[in-house]
Amino acid sequence: MDKEIIKQGAEARLYLGKYEGETCLIKERFVKKYRHPDLDKQITRRRMKAEMKTAARCLAAGVLVPKVLHLDYPAHTLYIEYYANAKTAKEFIQETVATQEPGETMKILQDLCCRIGVIIGRMHFDHIIHGDLTTSNILIDPQENKYDIVFIDFGLSHYDKGAERKGVDLYVLERALLSTHSEQPYLFDFIMEGYRVHCGAEGLLVLAKFEEVRARGRKRTMIG
Amino acid sequence: MVCSLGIEGSANKIGVGIIRDGEVLANVRRTYITPPGEGFLPNATAKHHREVILTLVQESLKEAKIKPADLDVVCYTKGPGMAPPLLVGAIVARTLALLWEKPLMGVNHCIGHIEMGRHITGAQNPIILYVSGGNTQVIAYSNKKYRIFGETIDIAVGNCLDRFARILKLPNDPSPGYNIEQMAKNGSKYIKLPYVVKGMDVSFSGILSHIEELADPTKNPNKRKKTQEAESPETKPADLCFSLQETIFAMLVEITERAMAHCGSNEVLIVGGVGCNERLQKMMEIMCEERGGKLFATDERYCIDNGLMIAHAGAEMFKSGTRMPFEESFVTQRYRTDEVLVTWRDD
């Protein structure tokens, strides 16, 4: 089969290929030679499974994700829907900051983050934990006069009803934003605004847990 | 030309180092070693440091073949760390600064590790994996700060290793982590352990409780029903050490690789006490080779806490014009890496 490599990530190569005549994205997880073979197999299998399961759960919850077309365990390969025009939220934010007036930037980013927050709230409401929320794992798919927000990369995702893991999910996102977009410290607050809209009573528990997780980081003494 | 003396004493090591314009003149160190099965307590550690620090200062001056008058600045570790041992270093540094009439400079311990690693290896702008008894961080420089991309959300990797060594009653000489490393060389069976990566963050506390139970099933007889079926008739300590290392180092390599992909960087620098583990270095090297990257690591002289790194980072600060008023020469147990404004880098 002819396939064209488009990206080499940390744990997978992405190719452009065909599945039943349709253009699709082929995500191949490669063997990590530094890991013990047993551990490597265990991790790869677990993550492929998570990707497929969570994609299905997200669709059921009304969250936009690329459809998984086919799963090939022995080849560690996943065939997924391809968004040809999409860019990552990271690129979108950086472009907005570079090209727009400060006032306009604020408005665009507030709108974006609020929508992202609403979606994360919806995922958590359905007990879907993404596990690796960063602006590189959120796609912006342009439509006429608007855009869709698509979540990708569910390798670290899982299903959990407890507040702890949801709190950690938010903490991971906050940290990712602070390190990637250190010049725009307001992004996370906008996301939380959106999150609160949709999260309901259970969400308040998550927010309390999030504060607790955060405090663990700050209070750690870091000896030695 | 800046000649700098640094005192480090944030944990169970106390060290004095002297550096002149990047040239290492002296690097001496003593370690407070506790009996097997015991950790180091703050006050006892401080007592140990008080007993040896003046000897170390004399030794370092002798080794460097300089007189106090040749120094430009006296540096000490301001934090993070345990307060009682930190205070020993701070008080001696203050006294020497007044006695010799030299400026005083407080240095962030983590920054000391990073700058020493960069200086020794010549790495320009690497992703830094900082792993020690109290810290586990993946760091990258951007815009005048060393930013933390990933870290542990509970205990540090070295703490996990140290505490497991205590369960096995391994000696603390020269260090618990070293003895685990040696023991792991005799292990070959991989025992499945929890593997906890959350984005670019990791967690070790669950792994520690799990492996503690495997090592000593009598400890929590009722907590887990599974104990009866027993994972295998006898789990050898060597296999446990082997599996523990394989699992937690794989987690560290993975988050480092994520940070590399995230920042588009091709260099990795490992610093901190756990950084001299050869298995960790080997795994990181394989990962780097696969990506076409480059690994930088140092040996125990510079990896493990030392006074030289404080002297070096302090000298860099001093050269860039940073001055510390004497009134600010306190110590602090909590002092995050990203709080320090990096005045000495222009990129």
Q: Which residues in chain A have Cβ-Cβ distances shorter than 8 Å to B132?
A: 224
Q: What is the ipTM of this complex?
A: 0.87
Q: How far is A41 from chain B (nearest CA, A)?
A: 12
pLDDT tens-digit readout, A122-151:
999 999 999 999 999 999 999 988 999 999
Q: So which residues of A are the catalytic ones?
A: 132
Q: How far is B67 from chain A (nearest CA, A)?
A: 30
The class that CATH gives domain A4-81 is alpha beta
| Nearest to A131, CA basis, from A54, A34, A212 | A54
Per DSSP, the three-state class of B37 is coil
Residue B299: phi and psi, rounded to 5, are -95, -175
The residue ranges of every structural domain in chain A are: 4-81, 87-219
Instruction: Please tell me which of the candidates B81, B154, B201 has its beta carbon nearest to residue A224.
Output: B81
**How many Cα atoms occupy the beta-carbon half-sphere of B42 within 13 Å?**
9
- The answer to whether the annotation marks B181 as part of a ligand binding site is yes
**How many Cα atoms occupy the beta-carbon half-sphere of B236 within 13 Å?**
11
pLDDT tens-digit readout, B143-201:
899 999 899 988 999 999 999 999 999 999 999 999 999 999 999 999 999 999 998 99
Best residue of B207, B262, B266 to probe chain A, by most A CBs closer than 10 Å: B262
Contact B199 A131 (CB under 8 A): yes
Residue B272 to residue B13: CA distance in whole angstroms: 13
CB proximity under 8 Å: B 123-182 to A: 132-135, 140, 142-143, 145, 147-151, 153-154, 156, 158
pLDDT tens-digit readout, B215-225:
887 766 555 55
CATH of domain B3-114+305-339: 3.30.420.40
CATH of domain B125-302: 3.30.420.40
- Look up residue A27 and give its amino acid: K
Residue A105 to residue B286: CA distance in whole angstroms: 43
pLDDT tens-digit readout, B244-303:
999 999 999 999 999 998 888 999 999 999 999 999 999 999 999 988 999 999 999 999
Element (H, E) at A178: helix A163-180
Q: How far is A172 from chain B (nearest CA, A)?
A: 6
CB-based contact, B89 to chain A, within 8 Å: no
Q: What is the pTM of this model?
A: 0.92
Span(s) in chain B for CATH 3.30.420.40: 3-114+305-339, 125-302
Contact A224 B12 (CB under 8 A): yes
Instruction: Please tell me which of the candidates B145, B154, B250 has its beta carbon nearest to residue A34.
Output: B250
Contact B158 A224 (CB under 8 A): yes
Residue length, chain B? 347
For helices B157-167 and B237-263, the axis angle rounded to 10 degrees is: 180
Largest CA-CA distance found in chain A, in angstroms, rounded: 58
CB proximity under 8 Å: A 142-201 to B: 156, 168-169, 171-173, 175-176, 178-180, 182-183
The yes/no answer on whether domain A87-219 falls in CATH 3.20.20.80 is no
CB-based contact, B339 to chain A, within 8 Å: no
Q: Which residues in chain A have Cβ-Cβ distances shorter than 8 Å to B199?
A: 131-134, 156, 172-173, 175-176
pLDDT tens-digit readout, B66-95:
999 999 999 999 999 999 999 999 999 999
- Please tell me if the domain spanning A4-81 has the same topology as the one spanning A87-219: no
